[in-house]
A and B are shown apart, each in its own frame.
Chain A
Amino acid sequence: MTKVPMARPSSRRAFLKGGLAGAAAVAASAGAARAGGETVITEVQDWARYPGDGVDARPYGRPSPFEAHVVRKNVPWLTSDTISSVNFTPLHELDGIITPNGLCFERHHAGIAELDPAAYRLMVHGLVEKPLVFTLADLKRFPRENRIYFLECAANSGMEWRGAQLNGCQFTHGMVHCVMYTGVRLRHILEEAGVRPDGKWLLAEGADASAMTRSIPMEKALDDCMVAFAMNGEALRPEQGYPARLVVPGWEGNMWVKWLRRLEVGDQPWHHREETSKYTDLLASGKARRFTWVMDVKSVITSPSPQAPIRHGKGRMVLTGLAWSGNGRIERVDVSLDGGRNWKTARIDGPSLPMALHRFYYEFDWDGSDLYLQSRAIDEKGLVQPTKDQLRAARGPNSIYHNNGIQTWHVDKEGVVENVEIS
């Protein structure tokens, strides 16, 4: 067996320990290349000699074993039990704008409900002409649509209100994902039952043991909401509400009720637990905002970031990140290398769709000095991503939700990255 000269450290800790040795290995292998050459080239590798698995060995394909570290992770001390908890999308390992189904962050209030699609029913009742029950097969007979949207938990970055807290963009920003949904317009389903003129609000309820409920204004329900049964081309994952969930584009993730079983039309909001005790934003004055549905304009640099340090030393490098806004498209993303003193406009690449993630890149030559990386998104409504200090000045430190402040990553001379706050 041959050895790959520079094995990739699998964790940040391993990197910290092996950082210097790794840099030395780079230099050595560059020197060695001039003499004899890398064995991965000069020797025939196993995979180039022996055939691998045939078809059907992996009927549902999985990522390469070398990618086994790319998984969702939780922060166990945040919650008392994984049944009502959250884990985070590994943003630092992903590229493009689509999140793979198995990596979309999870937030459950009573664990993953395992629903038999044959036993799935969606009920529409309340202020309607005729209360109706739909099977999954019925839902699929409405005209279908495909839409790419981000879904962000309103508590994403919520741990960072008081200052830098968690060291990794998976943990500071990983309660967001973006997939292509296939589903039907909520409007069609509601019109099938016939919404009465006094029907101004909709209560959506899930079938899991938390029976999650949220009140949604009818205007939004009839505008762009969907009932989705597929993500990225395949059936929804159980963690994401199989067999059907609500899609509420641009609005906080908690409203996208999973395992959707019931839609009640009413003339007032319900003020349920998830819109009173939770998902209300306490201000310094002691007042609390409620019904803060829209997810604000936001961005983060995903690499480099604490879990994705610079391993290649100085010279040419690619900085990349994500930007999104519940108000529509992202117009522009600016990047600063010096902690917000000077800004350069980054390059958005890939589709630019309303209420979807946008991928940006900024390429430059790193001179090996300290970097204070920041990104700032501007959306199509002209709203500019604020700083964390601006948000704290306006709201105090106890709002929990809707923290879209500008993130700072400090890169030291070794390429190690840390979550910091700066002057």
Chain B
Amino acid sequence: MSKYPEVLVAAALGLLAATSSAGAQDAAAGEKVFARCKACHAVGEGAANRVGPHLNGVVGRAAGAIEGYKYSPAMTEKAGEGLVWDEPSLTRYLENPRGFLKGTKMAFAGLKKPQEIADIIAYLATFAEDGSQKAAQADPAGDDGGRDAAGAAETDTAEAAGEAEEEPSQAGADAAPRADEPTASSVASGSDGLKFGLGREATDDEVAAWDIDIRPDGKGLPEGRGTVGEGMIVYDQQCASCHGDFGEAIGRWPVLAGGQGTLRDERPEKTIGSYWPYLSTVYDYVRRAMPFGDARSLSDDEVYALTAYLLYLNDIVGDEEFELSRENFTSIDLPNEQNFIDDDRASEAHYADRSEPCMSDCKEGAPEITMHAAVLDVTPEDSDEKESRGGGID
């Protein structure tokens, strides 16, 4: 997989020497830290690229070396200069990604605790290039082999489950009648008044696998529950790296909390608490699409807990013990629900007035420029981190 196998072997040896001499890195603890990378990176058997490249064998790997992954120009440039991921370079990158590598597209604020960095590197060093674990040698603590293996197994099953979920149609096709050859029953149903006799009946399991939507009246909510406190733990591990510890957002990732009372301001801040009309949308969206890069990986209880925590971050519930469940879900209203109105564009003066538009001498005086384009050159190469003063794309 790596384009530079020899670099890899040499550097890996270097690292092993380093770890055994330091002796304080804990791969098992590093596995917990990895929860903060998981939204974007996979590691282990069958790990694929996500938002970021897979990290199998990354310790000792040349930077920017995963074929088929599209690195930032900054990373590609560094790779060209021969950067290899060893303990010192990883430490500096993980401490402050953008400080170490200006222009990297890893949107991660960095790990602040040196111990966490040492641990995550020890953990990543346990994975060979093919994703298999070389736990025995690489675990300096020595007595954690068992825990490590268990951890790896867990990662694998999660991965497998994720994959199964992504392709329910194939799984369904095995169990259910083949859709591309109309069966006797679908032909028969054609004569039941269906016009073309195409398709086959969906099984209950198939509908259940795909039907994940939730409505404001609670239709679609699964069985389950979760508290604010439980939500905070999941949030800190899986959401805070993009959305910020308090939902305030890192960089340009979406803001999730705050902004109450700003909708009439010059710069309104639209969040769950200040703008969204229905709580059901939070549950529905987090379950279907988050964490970004690892959709559909959360359990129903985790989504209840996260939804409860997002209510807490938005000051809609104040109690850390608060538990959200299917039973009490629809009793919670979001503050801005009443402020949505139907489309009334047709009543605006310029549309309501159907007179013929003016063709000559429509305005007094010569035109004067009141504003120039704010961004003179929008070509990709010179627009790093410019502030937009207009609206966003959505």
Residue positions of A touching B, CB distance < 8 A: 11-13, 73-86, 107, 109-110, 119-121, 123-125, 130-135, 137-139, 141-142, 153-155, 158-168, 171, 188, 191-194, 203, 205, 209-211, 213, 254, 261-262, 264, 266, 268, 270-273, 276-280, 282, 284-294, 296, 306, 334, 338-343, 372, 376, 378, 382-384, 386-387, 390-391, 393-395, 397-402, 410, 418-423
Contact = CB atoms under 8 A, between A and B. Distances in A.
Given A81-B107, A110-B295, A188-B196, A341 B368 contact: no
A205 B207 contact: no
B391 interface: yes
A133 B189 CA distance: 14
B180 A137 contact: yes
Contacts of A120: 169
Contact of A163 (B180, B295, B390): B390
Given A192-B196, A271-B216, A132 B374 contact: no
A134 B179 contact: yes
Nearest to B365: A423
Interface residues of B, number: 101
B351 A273 contact: no
A121 B169 contact: yes
A198 to B, nearest CB: 13
A134 B276 contact: no
16 contacts: A79-B252, A80-B107, A83-B292, A158-B394, A165-B375, A165-B390, A192-B198, A209-B289, A261-B169, A268-B215, A273-B289, A288-B341, A341-B363, A401-B394, A419-B372, A423-B367
Nearest to A421: B371
Interface in B259-286: 263-264, 268, 270, 272, 275-278, 280-281, 284-285
Contact of B348 (A168, A287, A394): A394
Interface in B348-392: 348-351, 354, 357-363, 365-380, 383-392
A125 B357 contact: no
Nearest to B105: A81
Given A211-B288, A390-B349, A422 B369 contact: yes
A343 B391 contact: no
Contacts of B180: 135, 137-138
Contacts of A340: 362-363, 367
- Which residue, A168, A209, A289, A400, has most C-beta atoms of chain B within 10 A? A209
Interface string B326-355: 000000000000011111110011110010
- Which residue, A130, A205, A254, A296, has most C-beta atoms of chain B within 10 A? A130
A272 B284 contact: yes
